[in-house]
Structure 1
């Protein structure tokens, strides 16, 4: 039942954002709120489990990318920096603002993961520098530039949040960071 609740919560987050209610959840599942509360003590607990699942899914996907011998280092780097489970790719960036506003503790958990889990990216960049396929750069500065862009998404006044999905923003940021803006002649 827990898994069904989480999957339906993800569906409702995509549909209504984090403003969905446990009544919405119970109705969609064809069950009672009491049944939901037997599995989760609160809506926050449901959201926390969704975020934990998201983080776990990303970690698994990152490991698969890192160990994929069919990808070049540049392809691995791009895949790692845009890594997101399928069910979250279409999420509108406004939901991150909503998460921060209404479920702050869960947002902190997600934000900590985003700002601290960089081992695979660092290894790929350092290997690329060593092999000569990536220019010698300050890796921490690269990460901070990426994070600075991501942090703009959380800004309530950001014009990006109403026009692009999270996946579209990540792909655009990585394209600019990896390929620059100048055309080669």
Structure 2
């Protein structure tokens, strides 16, 4: 019998590839070659699976952010590493995932929003404040406002209504949004450091 963990992993693979709404319990059972009855022995319904998968993905995102912070040589390097990770990760994720959560799985969407505020936003605010202290970020920058802006930019790039992937390359969209963001907040010292990292 498949374990609860194996079912969650199979569901996650399908959700990230095809989007959440389009994946049915039948799809999950077919992927694992088990009956739907077996899935229902572990999960009440699809929404419970979606919530668990969302928690798993967000926890891995938090681990990755912490790892990047440890690897980064300074604030500029950290911002670049985060941007690179977002581009690589987002390329393999179906663009409808976040918007399926928002429209059809409100409990999972609340889990995402909680992580977004308590982990992603908190982390970015800390990074930008540190950048100010080191002279990389302009003194007049409101780090909370700009951190919120950056998170919304990242999320917006996944929106197929704004950037349909048959017209826009996801990685290029993220590059353009990142460049627009950092050029708006960096001092001359920050821009020079950014240039040096890009040349490497």
Partner of 1:97: 99
Partner of 1:47: 50
Aligned residue runs from structure 1 range 122-133, under 5 A: 122-133=125-136
Q: Which runs of 5+ in 1 are unaligned?
A: none
Which residue among 58, 62, 78 is the counterpart of 1:59?
62
The count of corresponding residues between Structure 1 and Structure 2 is 180
Give the structure-2-normalised TM-score. 0.74
CA distance in 2, matches of 1:8, 1:86: 21
CA distance in 1, matches of 2:149, 2:60: 24
Cα deviation 1:3-30 (Å, max 9, x = unaligned): 2212211221134322211111111101
CA distance in 1, matches of 2:129, 2:7: 41
Aligned residue runs from structure 1 range 27-176, under 5 A: 27-68=30-71, 70-80=72-82, 83=85, 89-117=91-119, 118-136=121-139, 137-150=141-154, 152=156, 158-163=161-166, 164=168, 169-176=173-180
Give the structure-1-normalised TM-score. 0.79
**8 Å CA contact 1:10, 1:50 repeated in 2:** yes
Partner of 2:196: none
Q: Which runs of 5+ in 2 are unaligned?
A: 185-190, 193-200
Which segment is superposed worse, 84-93 or 169-178? 84-93
